Chains A and B, each alone.
Chain A
Amino acid sequence: MKRREFLIKSMVASASVAVSPLILSSCQTDLKGKKLTILHTNDMHSHIDPFEDGRYKGLGGMSARASAIKKIRSTEGNLLLLDVGDVFQGTPYFNMFGGELELKLMSEMQYDATTVGNHEFDNGLDGLKYAMQFASFPYLSANYDFSKNTIAGQVQPYKIFNKNGIKVGVFGLGVKLEGLVNAKMYGNTVYMDPIAVANEMVQELTAKKCDLIICLSHMGYDYGESDIPSDKKLAKEVSEIDIILGGHTHTFMDEPLLLTNPDGFTTAINQVGWAGINLGRIDVVFTSKGKGAVAFKPIPITNKA
Chain B
Amino acid sequence: MTLLKQARKINRSLYLFIFLVACSSPGTYDISYSWSPVEINPDVRGSESIEAIIVPYRARLDSIMDEVIGYATHDLTTEGQYESTLGTFVTKLSKEQSATSFKKEVDVAIMNHHGGLRAPINEGPITLGDVFELMPFENEMVLLEITGDDLTELIKFIGQSGRSMIWPVSFHVSGTTLLNIRVDGKEVVSDKIYMISTSDYLANGGSGFSMLKPLNRVDVPPVKLRDMIVQEIREQTARGDSIRTDIANFITVSEP
- Chain A residues within CB distance 8 Å of chain B: 1-4, 6-24, 26-27, 31-32, 48-50, 58-68, 70, 72, 89-97, 101, 104-105, 108-109, 122-123, 178-180, 182-183, 203, 206-207, 211-212, 242-243, 255-256, 258, 260, 264-266, 268, 270, 272, 276-303, 305
CA distance in complex: A104, B53 (Å): 8
Q: Which residues of B contact A96 (CB under 8 A)?
A: 57, 60-61, 64
Which of B14, B20, B57, B132 has the most C-beta atoms of chain A within 10 angstroms of its own C-beta?
Answer: B20
Rounded to whole Å, the gap between the CB of B28 and the closest CB of chain A is: 5
Instruction: Flag if A48 contacts B19 (CB, 8 Å).
Output: no
- Chain B residues within CB distance 8 Å of chain A: 1-47, 49-51, 53-54, 57-58, 60-61, 64-65, 129, 132-133, 136-138, 140, 200-201, 204-206, 210, 213
Instruction: Flag if A179 contacts B206 (CB, 8 Å).
Output: yes
Which 9 pairs between the two chains have the least Cβ-Cβ distance? A63-B46, A290-B24, A301-B36, A66-B47, A299-B34, A64-B44, A22-B4, A179-B205, A305-B44
Given A67-B46, A290-B23, A298-B15, are A280 and B33 also a contact pair (CB < 8 Å)?
no
Which residue of chain B has its CB nearest to the CB of A288? B30
Given A16-B10, A61-B46, A108-B49, list of 16 further CB < 8 A pairs? A3-B41, A4-B39, A4-B41, A8-B12, A12-B12, A21-B5, A59-B40, A96-B61, A179-B204, A180-B206, A272-B37, A277-B40, A285-B31, A290-B24, A296-B11, A298-B13
Which of B3, B28, B30 has the most C-beta atoms of chain A within 10 angstroms of its own C-beta?
Answer: B30
Q: Which residues of B contact A48 (CB under 8 A)?
A: 54, 57-58
Instruction: Flag if B45 contacts A27 (CB, 8 Å).
Output: no
Instruction: Flag if B33 contacts A289 (CB, 8 Å).
Output: no
Given A101-B57, A290-B30, are A21 and B35 also a contact pair (CB < 8 Å)?
no
Other-chain residue from A18, A20, A301 in contact with B16 (beta carbon distance below 8 A)? A301
Given A31-B29, A285-B31, are A95 and B132 also a contact pair (CB < 8 Å)?
yes
Instruction: Flag if B38 contacts A277 (CB, 8 Å).
Output: no
Rounded to whole Å, the gap between the CB of B172 and the closest CB of chain A is: 31
Which residue of chain A has its CB nearest to the CB of B119? A54
Q: Which residues of A contact B26 (CB under 8 A)?
A: 289-291
Other-chain residue from A6, A13, A105, A203 in contact with B54 (beta carbon distance below 8 A)? A105
Instruction: Flag if B28 contacts A277 (CB, 8 Å).
Output: no
Q: Which residues of A contact B12 (CB under 8 A)?
A: 8, 10-14
Instruction: Flag if B38 contacts A68 (CB, 8 Å).
Output: yes
Q: Which residues of B contact A70 (CB under 8 A)?
A: 47
Rounded to whole Å, the gap between the CB of A131 and the closest CB of chain B is: 14
Rounded to whole Å, the gap between the CB of B170 and the closest CB of chain A is: 29
Which residue of chain B has its CB nearest to the CB of A92? B132
Instruction: Flag if A93 contacts B39 (CB, 8 Å).
Output: no
Instruction: Flag if B39 contacts A6 (CB, 8 Å).
Output: yes
